[in-house]
Structures are given as structure tokens and as C-alpha cells.
């Protein structure tokens, strides 16, 4: 009888945990999936299937300096626990260090690949100072190989054709039905009223050029990017 | 709750009778037909270049206001987010009183602590609070006269809609279908706050309509009523749109049509009894609430004058119904639609297979927000056109399994964008007699704030970039715009004060009113 009770209790516990995971999955998809992907495998936000972080703390308090906000005022502890239950259910184990030579990757970054031209401090591209903490290696590889598949919000491309036929291409800083603002690759700020120009068009292509790197060079570059975690030197 | 009287002298002055030359804005849609149309003609396409801010009121709240201000007797009454409301002097924009009650915590909501406005009758104002209560306030002091609970916020109910007053009743709905509520439309005595009737949008199993939920359905939930309905006094009929069934995206747990979700219900205004219903999206699995303004128009179809109710539905079709019988007059798509090949003569959609949400994600058009969502629409009897915002595009719809937990999210999954397939925005003008789109103005910024039509053939709207814009009502060409500095999520209104026409709108957390200079 006691054994039967134990089995029943255990089954009940498993059922409750399963329900928690299901509810957590629903909440994850509403609140987390837009950045972390529908299956928690990363996107704009890190891959959560391989994380060992204190997720309850991260969800509650956020991560300063990143897009990850604090949800403690919106979610109670039980809801956070359910979301964490779901994320843990997707676990594929912690990822090891990214293969490759980070030193050589750094040399490429500031040298022949010329990433630093746009992504170093003061550049017109997104800062990569914490990118190793913010983005998964798989996401960075995809961005490196196909920069136009998902352009970082705030860095979309705009092409303004002037009435003399010349055009200005740059990073969109503002666009509505009456004006456009952009930062050109020449680091100049441009602002146009619609009636001053021939056309204003969104460009689905990223301003980041396609890379002509070998596979080992890509691996080294990713190894370097994964070291950029915003840690104090 | 705080209620402050800032200036007693101002109050006395405002209570004095006003001179002729005042045209008020008295209810959510200005008329009970939901037209959002002003007969005022001072502001025209030829003099609109002189339109400029007359005053700006800072609410000092971090809001994305969706509120329609009311204007009467020299005062503007406007609600804000998070249980705020103000009365403002029309002459100066100065505050007469401020109402505030801190919302309870925790309060999980689908879409923010928004509020869409007051109703007014005599010296009483009526509003809902986000924790789903209905209040009557004294219009000159802001003091609470009575308050009654509509639904229990701990079970997922919330209050966002602007009420309306019909005779001695104040009528409103509820929000919360994403949390497994049972929707309703309620009527309360304006003097006492006592409930006179309630219409449940989800019938019990043994009530008419109850059999449209399979007996296996464990939780008959959804059908929220979060946008204000309209009223025909000749027919004494109230028209109100209803929201999605719950859970939103997993229909397997609720086989059947799921009445009266995603429907228009026509109710006897005195009793709340159902006269007829029309379900736009039977067994909805895409969260396509049917809450867009049900606008009452009389149109000539095949040489016959018909009393119609028209709606730009979230499922991508524009519908005309006979508002006496509820029979379909016409239904035409106004945006890209993937889920139906059309609406049959029997009024039911002709479904395209394999459009249900899936674990892997199913592409459907329109997206979750629909072609047109809740944003206020406008109708001009001069042009016969119905003006509304449209978002054109598709999304991936996902579904999950989950047990129902009272008061918790019960959406059972979500949507995601499709890489390289961005949404497009437009303002659309549709002929209310045929459902044909007469013009479409494609836009860069989302026309997120709703519409206003004027007798001088202008259409005003606010956009997500902060512009208040005026279009030519007959062509859709822009004739004026002003950058307010905050995304506009509320519809503009028009009124006349001391013989002068004004346009007013809530932009973010400020109220801006415009007049010709």
C-alpha cells in the first residue's frame, strides 16, 4: 500500500512538473521567443538550450547593458519558475568554448576583414563589445555569412535618391511619410523632407558587406567574437 | 485614489452656461452610430496650413494613450493609462481635476493598462478601471459617485473600453480573453450603479448557442468585448463585437463554432436579450477578434435602402450586414487573405485547408493583429466611405498544449514574423454600399491612432511616428501633418468652442489641441 502511495505521489509530482513546463512554454513563447527564438535556440538573444546561468535571477533582474530587461514587477516567482522549468526542459548541455584561434580572429577583425571599421567604438555599425555574451555562436555565424537575413533593429538600410539623380545610402535613423533621417557611410548625418528628394526607399540589404573569408578564418573570427563579453579589463 | 481640485474659481467659471457656437464631442464615436464624423467645416484643405497647436496638456504619465476625449460645456474629459483621468479647461488647457487610483499588483494583462475613454450623461461621467470596475464620477469635481465590479481581475478580467450611455443605462464590456475569462456585455443604472442586465458572450451548455462548443470542451472561455458598441434608437438595438475563443491558437480543445466569439451580437438595449448574431470567424484559431467598430449606415443596394452595419474585420474581410436581421449583405477582402477563398452566400467562410497553427509554425495572412484591429474608424455620409487603418502581411502561427490555470495566460502559443516579409501599412477607404476599396494610401508609419472624418472632406489620423495627418477624404492625398513628438495610439476628435473649430488628440502622455492661427 505504501509503495502504491509513493508511486502515486511520484506520478502526481511528475504531472505537476509537466504542467509547469507546459505553462512555462506558453509564457516563454509570449515573452521570450521574440528574442530567444520559438524553440529557445537563440536569435537576437542567446541560445538558452545550452546555458548554465541562474535563469530565475536573469529573468527577475535582467542583464544590465543588454536588451534583456527585468521582469520582477511583471512576473511573480511562480511564473518565473515555470518559464525556467520550460527552458531547462530544452537543455542540450552547456556549450564548450568556441573552436578556433581567437588571436587570429582578432587580427582579422581589425585587419583584413575590416570589421573594426564599422563595429569598433565610434563606428556606424552595432557595437560588438558584449556580443559574446549577447549572441550565440550559431547566430553570429549566420549573421557573418548572410548579413541581410535579419538586420539588427536600428541599423536598417535606407536609400535616398536626390532630384539630381545621385543617392545617399546609409543607416536609417528615422522614416515616416514626410521625412527620413540617416547616417551615411561617410559618418555624416542626413535629413530629408519627402518633397526635397526624388525617392526614399528601404533597402532589404544590410550595409554590412558579404565576407570573403575561408572557413578556418570564420571559425577564428567567431572564436574572437565569443571572447567579447564586456568584462572589465 | 487622489482627486484634486486645483482652482475653485475656474470650476465656477466653467459651470456657467456657454454661449452659442459650441459643438461638443459626447461619446466614444461622437454619434451612437459610431461614425466619428464631425459636421464642422471651418478647417478645410485650403486653410489647413494655418492649423497649429492651441494648447498642450502634459499628463506627466508614461502613457501610450488610446483615449477618446469627450468635450462638453467648456470642459474636456479625458482618461489616461493606469487609472488616470483629467478634466481640462477648453479655453486654456489647464487642469480642473485629476482622478487616479493605483492599479493592483500583480496584474498580468495582454496589452497594457490602457483606457479608451469616458461616457457622459447629465453631470455624471462613467469610466472603467483596469482592474475591471465601472465608476461614475461627478463631472465638475471628479469625485467617485459609485463603483461596481465588472469582473475579478485575479481571474484575468480587465477593463479598457469606453462605456456608452443608452437612456438610463451605462453599458460596457470586458477584456481578458487571453486569460480564459467568460466575456459579457453589462448594463448598469446610471443613478445607482446597480446591474440591470448582463449578456454572456459564451452561452452555457444548455443555452441557445451552447451546442456550438463540443461536450468535450472543458473550458468554455473567451469572447471579450473590449471595444465600444453602437446603437440604433429606432430599432432599440445595441451592436457589439466580440473577441476570440480561448485558448486562442489551439482549437482542438474546443471543437465547434464556439459562439458567440468573433461575432457581432445585436441586443435589445433595455433587456440585453439577443436579437441576432453573426459570426465572422467560426472556430477562430488566429486571435481575430471581431471588435472593430460596428458602424451603422443606411445604404442603397440594388435600388433598395438597407439599414446596414459595416465592419472592417480583423480576419481581412470587410462586411456589410442587414442590421435588422443580421443577414449578410456583402463581404470582401480589403487585405491579403490566405485562410479563406471568400465568404459564401450562407455567410460562412470558404476555408482554405491547413491554415491552423502548428508546432512548426503555419504561415497565415493576415497576421495576429489582423488586417484591421481595434483602432477607431470613421465614416463620412458625404463620401459614403468608411476610413480605417490596415496592416497587410502574414505571420507564422504556433500552437502548444497547456492545462488551464485560472487567471493565467491561456493563449496556447504565439506568432512570429516571416524573415524578409515585413508588414505594410495603409489607410483604406471602402464604399459602405459595396465593400469595394475606393482608395488605399500606403504608408511608412503605422496609422496606429484611429480616424476622424469631417464635413469639409478631410480625414485625420495619428501615426506611430508621432504625426497627426490630414488626408483628402476623396483621394487619400495628404494635405497637412504635424509632428507631436510621441507615437499616437488614440483617435483624434473635433469640437467647436466659442465659435472656433478645434482638432484634439492624445499623443503618448500629452493632449494636444489644434486650431487655425
CATH number of A2-89: 1.10.760.10
Band of pLDDT at residue B88, cut at 50, 70 and 90: very high
Q: Which three cell numbers stand for residue B204?
A: 452555457
B103 touching A, CB under 8 A? no
Indicate the residue of B412, B443, B469 with minimum beta-carbon distance to A26: B412
Contact B117, B127 (CB under 8 A): yes
CB < 8 Å to A19, chain B: 402-403
Residue A170's pLDDT is what? 95
Contact B246, B178 (CB under 8 A): yes
Tell me which of B257, B287, B293, B457 is the catalytic residue: B287
Give the range among A62-66, A107-111, B475-479, B495-499 with minimum mean pLDDT.
Answer: A62-66
Residue A231's pLDDT is what? 63
Give the range among A98-107, B110-119, B184-193, B374-383 with minimum mean pLDDT.
Answer: A98-107
B215 touching A, CB under 8 A? no
Tell me, what's the ipTM? 0.84
pLDDT in tens, B103-112: 998 888 989 9
CB < 8 Å to B478, chain A: 177-178
* Cβ distance of B409 and A73 shorter than 8 Å: no
* A33 vs B197: which has the higher pLDDT: B197
- Domains along the sequence of chain B with CATH: 2-516 (2.140.10.10)
pLDDT at B15 over 50: no
Residue B19's pLDDT is what? 47
* Cβ distance of A204 and B478 shorter than 8 Å: no
Band of pLDDT at residue B14, cut at 50, 70 and 90: very low
Mutant choice from B107, B361, B363, B405 vs A, greatest count of A C-beta within 10 A: B405
The number of angstroms, rounded, from the C-alpha of B111 to the middle of its chain's C-alpha atoms is 14
* Cβ distance of B408 and A23 shorter than 8 Å: yes
Paired strand residues for B321: B309, B328
Residue A112's pLDDT is what? 87
Mutant choice from B396, B421, B444 vs A, greatest count of A C-beta within 10 A: B444
pLDDT at B3 over 60: no
DSSP B31-98: STT---EE---SS-TTTGGGEEEEEEEE--S------B-EEETTEEEEEETTTEEEEEETTT--EEEE
Band of pLDDT at residue B262, cut at 50, 70 and 90: very high
Indicate the residue of A29, A75, A175 with minimum beta-carbon distance to B398: A29
- C-alpha distance from B469 to closest chain A C-alpha (Å): 10
pLDDT at B435 over 90: yes
pLDDT in tens, B49-84: 999 999 999 999 988 999 999 999 999 999 999 999
pLDDT at A20 over 90: no
* A205 vs B229: which has the higher pLDDT: B229
CB < 8 Å to B106, chain A: 74-76
Residue A204's pLDDT is what? 87
**Closest Cα in chain A to B409:** A27
At B216, is the secondary structure helix, strand, or coil?
Answer: coil
Q: What is the CA radius of gyration of chain B?
A: 22
Residue B312's pLDDT is what? 98
The fold adopted by the segment(s) A157-203 is SH3 type barrels. (2.30.30)
B360 touching A, CB under 8 A? no
Per-domain residue ranges for chain A?
A: 2-89, 102-139+209-225, 157-203
Band of pLDDT at residue B11, cut at 50, 70 and 90: very low
pLDDT at B413 over 90: no
- C-alpha distance from B487 to closest chain A C-alpha (Å): 12
Residues B113-137 have a mean pLDDT of 98
pLDDT in tens, A130-182: 788 777 787 888 888 888 887 888 899 999 999 999 999 999 999 999 999 99
* Cβ distance of A176 and B444 shorter than 8 Å: yes
* A2 vs B403: which has the higher pLDDT: B403
Return the sign of the alpha-carbon dihedral for residues B198, B203, B204, B208.
Answer: positive
Mutant choice from B103, B357, B403, B485 vs A, greatest count of A C-beta within 10 A: B403
Residue B50's pLDDT is what? 98
SS3 assignment for B42-56: CCCCCCHHHEEEEEE
pLDDT at B16 over 80: no
CB < 8 Å to B403, chain A: 19, 22-23
- C-alpha distance from B239 to closest chain A C-alpha (Å): 32
CB < 8 Å to B411, chain A: 26, 30
**Residue B189 known to be catalytic:** no
* Cβ distance of B400 and A149 shorter than 8 Å: no
Can you count the helices (H) and strands (E) in chain A? 9, 5
Peptide bond into B106 cis (omega under 30): yes
Contact B226, B243 (CB under 8 A): yes
Question: How many other C-beta atoms are found inside a 10 Å radius of the C-beta of residue A188?
Answer: 10
- C-alpha distance from B52 to closest chain A C-alpha (Å): 17
CB contacts < 8 A, A to B, total 69
Residue B454's pLDDT is what? 98
Band of pLDDT at residue A15, cut at 50, 70 and 90: low
Decide the pairing of beta strands A157-162 and B195-200. unpaired
Numbered residues of chain A with Cβ closer than 8 Å to any chain B Cβ: 19, 22-23, 25-27, 29-30, 33-34, 38, 73-76, 79, 149-150, 174-178, 204
CB < 8 Å to A30, chain B: 409, 411, 414
Highest mean pLDDT among A124-133, B3-12, B137-146: B137-146
- C-alpha distance from B475 to closest chain A C-alpha (Å): 16
**Cα(A198)–Cα(A192) distance, integer angstroms:** 11
Residues B337-343 have a mean pLDDT of 97
Q: Which three cell numbers stand for residue A53?
A: 546561468
* Cβ distance of B408 and A29 shorter than 8 Å: no
B402 touching A, CB under 8 A? yes
pLDDT at A25 over 90: no
pLDDT at B7 over 50: no
* Cβ distance of B469 and A177 shorter than 8 Å: yes
**Cα(B286)–Cα(A140) distance, integer angstroms:** 33
Band of pLDDT at residue B17, cut at 50, 70 and 90: very low
Indicate the residue of A30, A34, A177 with minimum beta-carbon distance to B411: A30
Residue B21's pLDDT is what? 78
Amino acid at each position: 500500500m505504501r509503495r502504491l502511495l509513493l508511486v502515486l505521489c511520484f506520478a502526481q509530482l511528475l504531472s505537476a512538473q509537466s504542467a509547469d513546463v507546459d505553462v512555462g512554454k506558453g509564457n516563454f513563447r509570449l515573452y521570450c521567443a521574440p528574442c530567444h527564438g520559438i524553440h529557445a535556440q537563440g536569435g537576437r538573444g542567446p541560445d538558452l538550450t545550452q546555458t548554465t546561468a541562474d535563469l530565475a535571477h536573469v529573468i527577475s533582474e535582467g542583464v544590465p547593458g543588454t536588451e534583456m530587461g527585468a521582469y520582477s514587477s511583471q512576473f511573480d516567482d511562480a511564473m518565473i519558475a515555470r518559464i525556467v522549468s520550460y527552458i531547462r526542459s530544452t537543455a542540450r548541455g552547456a556549450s564548450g568554448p568556441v573552436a578556433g584561434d581567437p588571436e587570429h580572429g582578432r587580427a582579422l577583425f581589425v585587419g583584413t576583414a575590416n570589421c573594426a571599421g564599422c563595429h569598433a567604438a565610434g563606428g556606424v555599425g552595432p557595437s560588438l563589445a558584449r556580443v559574446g555574451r549577447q549572441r550565440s555562436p550559431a547566430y553570429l555565424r549566420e549573421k557573418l555569412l548572410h548579413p541581410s537575413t535579419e538586420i539588427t533593429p536600428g541599423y536598417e538600410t535606407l536609400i535616398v535618391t536626390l532630384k539630381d539623380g545621385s543617392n545617399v545610402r546609409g543607416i536609417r535613423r528615422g522614416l515616416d511619410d514626410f521625412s527620413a533621417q540617416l547616417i551615411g557611410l561617410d559618418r555624416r548625418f542626413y535629413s530629408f523632407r519627402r518633397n526635397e528628394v526624388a525617392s526614399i526607399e528601404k533597402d532589404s540589404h544590410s550595409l554590412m558587406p558579404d565576407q570573403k573569408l575561408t572557413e578556418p578564418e570564420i571559425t577564428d573570427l567567431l572564436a574572437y567574437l565569443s571572447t567579447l563579453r564586456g568584462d572589465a579589463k | 485614489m487622489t482627486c484634486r481640485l486645483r482652482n475653485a474659481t475656474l470650476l465656477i467659471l466653467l459651470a456657467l452656461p456657454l454661449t452659442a457656437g459650441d459643438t461638443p464631442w459626447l461619446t466614444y464615436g461622437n454619434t451612437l452610430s459610431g461614425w466619428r464624423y464631425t459636421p464642422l467645416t471651418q478647417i478645410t484643405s485650403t486653410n489647413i496650413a494655418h492649423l497649429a497647436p492651441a494648447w498642450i496638456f502634459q499628463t506627466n504619465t508614461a502613457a501610450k494613450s488610446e483615449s477618446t476625449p469627450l468635450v462638453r460645456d467648456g470642459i474636456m474629459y479625458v482618461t489616461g493609462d493606469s487609472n488616470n483621468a483629467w478634466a481640462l479647461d477648453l479655453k486654456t488647457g489647464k487642469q480642473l481635476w485629476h482622478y487616479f487610483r493605483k492599479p493592483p499588483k500583480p496584474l498580468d494583462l495582454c496589452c497594457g493598462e490602457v483606457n479608451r475613454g469616458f461616457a457622459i450623461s447629465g453631470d455624471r461621467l462613467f469610466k472603467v478601471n483596469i482592474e475591471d470596475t465601472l465608476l461614475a464620477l461627478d463631472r465638475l469635481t471628479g469625485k467617485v459617485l459609485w463603483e461596481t465590479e465588472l469582473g475579478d481581475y485575479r481571474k484575468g478580467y480587465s477593463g479598457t473600453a469606453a462605456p456608452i450611455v443608452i437612456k438610463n443605462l451605462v453599458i460596457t464590456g470586458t477584456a481578458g480573453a487571453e486569460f480564459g475569462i467568460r466575456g459579457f456585455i453589462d448594463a448598469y443604472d446610471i443613478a445607482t450603479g446597480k446591474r440591470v442586465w448582463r449578456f454572456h458572450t459564451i452561452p452555457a451548455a444548455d443555452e441557445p448557442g451552447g451546442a456550438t462548443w463540443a461536450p468535450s470542451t472543458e473550458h468554455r472561455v473567451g469572447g471579450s468585448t473590449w471595444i465600444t458598441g453602437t446603437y440604433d434608437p429606432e430599432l432599440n438595438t445595441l451592436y457589439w463585437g466580440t473577441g476570440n475563443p480561448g485558448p486562442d491558437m489551439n482549437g482542438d480543445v474546443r471543437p465547434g463554432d464556439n459562439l458567440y466569439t468573433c461575432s457581432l451580437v445585436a441586443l435589445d438595449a433595455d433587456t440585453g436579450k439577443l436579437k441576432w448574431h453573426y459570426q465572422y470567424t467560426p472556430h477562430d484559431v488566429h486571435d481575430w477578434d471581431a471588435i472593430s467598430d460596428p458602424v451603422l449606415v443606411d445604404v442603397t443596394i440594388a435600388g433598395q435602402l438597407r439599414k446596414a452595419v459595416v465592419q472592417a474585420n480583423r480576419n481581412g474581410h470587410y462586411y456589410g450586414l442587414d442590421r435588422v436581421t443580421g443577414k449578410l449583405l456583402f463581404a470582401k477582402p480589403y487585405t491579403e487573405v490566405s485562410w479563406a477563398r471568400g465568404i459564401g452566400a450562407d455567410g460562412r467562410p470558404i476555408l482554405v485547408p491547413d491554415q491552423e497553427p502548428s508546432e512548426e509554425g503555419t504561415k497565415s495572412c493576415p497576421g495576429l493583429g489582423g488586417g484591421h484591429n481595434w483602432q477607431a474608424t470613421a465614416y463620412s455620409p458625404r463620401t459614403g466611405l468608411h476610413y480605417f487603418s490596415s496592416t497587410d502581411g502574414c505571420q507564422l502561427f504556433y500552437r502548444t498544449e497547456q492545462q488551464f490555470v485560472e487567471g493565467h495566460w491561456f493563449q496556447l502559443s504565439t506568432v512570429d514574423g516571416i524573415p524578409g516579409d515585413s508588414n505594410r501599412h495603409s489607410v483604406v477607404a471602402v464604399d459602405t454600399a459595396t465593400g469595394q476599396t475606393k482608395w488605399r494610401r500606403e504608408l511608412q508609419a503605422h496609422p496606429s491612432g484611429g480616424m476622424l472624418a469631417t464635413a469639409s472632406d478631410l480625414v485625420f489620423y495619428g501615426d506611430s511616428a508621432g504625426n497627426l495627418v490630414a488626408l483628402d477624404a476623396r483621394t487619400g492625398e495628404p494635405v497637412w501633418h504635424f509632428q507631436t513628438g510621441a507615437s499616437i495610439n488614440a483617435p483624434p476628435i473635433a469640437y467647436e468652442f466659442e465659435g472656433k473649430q478645434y482638432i484634439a488628440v492624445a499623443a503618448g502622455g500629452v493632449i494636444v489641441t489644434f486650431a487655425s492661427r
